[in-house]
Amino acid sequence: MRLISLILLFIVSFHGIDSRYSCKGLRGQNVDWFIIYKLPKGEKGAVSGKEFLYLDSEDANWAQSRKTIDSPDVGLGATISQLYRDEKSAFHFLYSDDSPIGKADSYRGHAKGVVLFDSQTGFWIVHSIPNYPDPKGKYSYPETAVKYAQSAICVTVSTDNLGDIGEHLRYIQATPYSTNLPSSFDSRFPVLKNIIAKKSLPSSATQFVHQKYTKTVNGMTFYMVAKYKKLHKDLWHDVIAQELKANLAVQSWLNGNADDLHTTCSGQYYVYDMQTVTIPGLTFNSSKDHSKWAASDSEKVPIVCIGDLNRQKSQLKRGGGAICLNNQYVWKSYRATVNLVEPCRTNRGRYDFRIDTQTICSLVFALVVLLKFTNF
């Protein structure tokens, strides 16, 4: 009898709560979390620009989906399709600085995402895709977001954590474009009314960073971090790298006429801007990538973050945040994508984030020659 109880406990702990709302996998099944990387159009293996790579709580190795990102029954599409059930008893909050039904907002938070919960559990998606998703009708993917690479992370969490997610959204000044707030959620989480009404922090506020370590339904810890616009600092270098005590390579949108921050080699931990990305079978320039993510340089602190903000000076004055995982398997998949970064610009800077085998061999050879001819 005890053995049966232990088996049942294992099944419940592994599969989480049986909820109507959850992140969905490549077979349309409930998963604890997932990450997708949509490939840029016109590259090898990504002719249409709708192909995507995927990893999740069941397998943290990159896999290319047989279906495309506009499919409503796998991964991101299957997850967001739950929104179209239009159940009045569920809370939903769709937010974007560049929504499909309004003008782009350059004043509030530079952030995009989807939140959908019932009374027990739900999911939270942070993504980089403009004009997405459509709040009504059926699932679709915008043609305006096909050209460049994009990313998204989904976490399935208990509804008990919705207050913390709400605070995160308040700090980043998320711009809602479709919401539903049942009375049961209103009384349980008062912050939700504030974010729907676009109520910002009070003028008397002195705390401009919101940080929280929480868990998915299956017990994986993740770090959620948000910065308010008045912080006037870089999310990646000044907040995440220093808090998690790790050097980071950051992929973000650095195109256009904006003033980039560039690789930052100051403080205890450095942040390097990505220049080229390598995904299984494909290498492309950072300029073809609209996603915002970071990976640490050491397996001792295996951090991967998916977030909102670019490393540009204009973003110092805007809100934004990230979800970070401390997961060795996810880190290995992402660390392998760091092909080339912008090196430090100062004389006291460290080595490049990535030193390849050929460089190491050359240094060793030079040292051997030096020792031989100096009779040391």
Which residues carry out catalysis? 290
Measured over the CA atoms of residue 33, residue 284, residue 336 and residue 309, the dihedral's sign is negative
CB within 8 Å of 23: residues ≥ 6 apart = 30, 31, 32, 33, 34, 56, 79, 123, 125, 154, 155, 156
* Cα distance between residue 167 and residue 149, in whole Å: 29
* Cα distance between residue 119 and residue 123, in whole Å: 12
20: left (phi over 0), alpha (psi -120 to 50) or beta: alpha
Cβ contact 344:255 at 8 Å = no
Token representation of residue 299: 């397996």
| Terminal Cα distance for the chain, rounded | 73
Q: Return the residue matching tokens 């001792």.
A: 300
* Cα distance between residue 337 and residue 108, in whole Å: 31
* Cα distance between residue 41 and residue 49, in whole Å: 4
- Phi, psi (degrees; rounded to nearest 5) at 319: -80, 155
Cβ contact 342:262 at 8 Å = yes
Measured over the CA atoms of residue 293, residue 296, residue 297 and residue 299, the dihedral's sign is negative
Cβ contact 249:338 at 8 Å = yes
3-state secondary structure of 80: helix
* Cα distance between residue 198 and residue 222, in whole Å: 26
Cβ contact 38:44 at 8 Å = no
Q: What is the CA radius of gyration of the chain?
A: 22
Token representation of residue 182: 């049942």
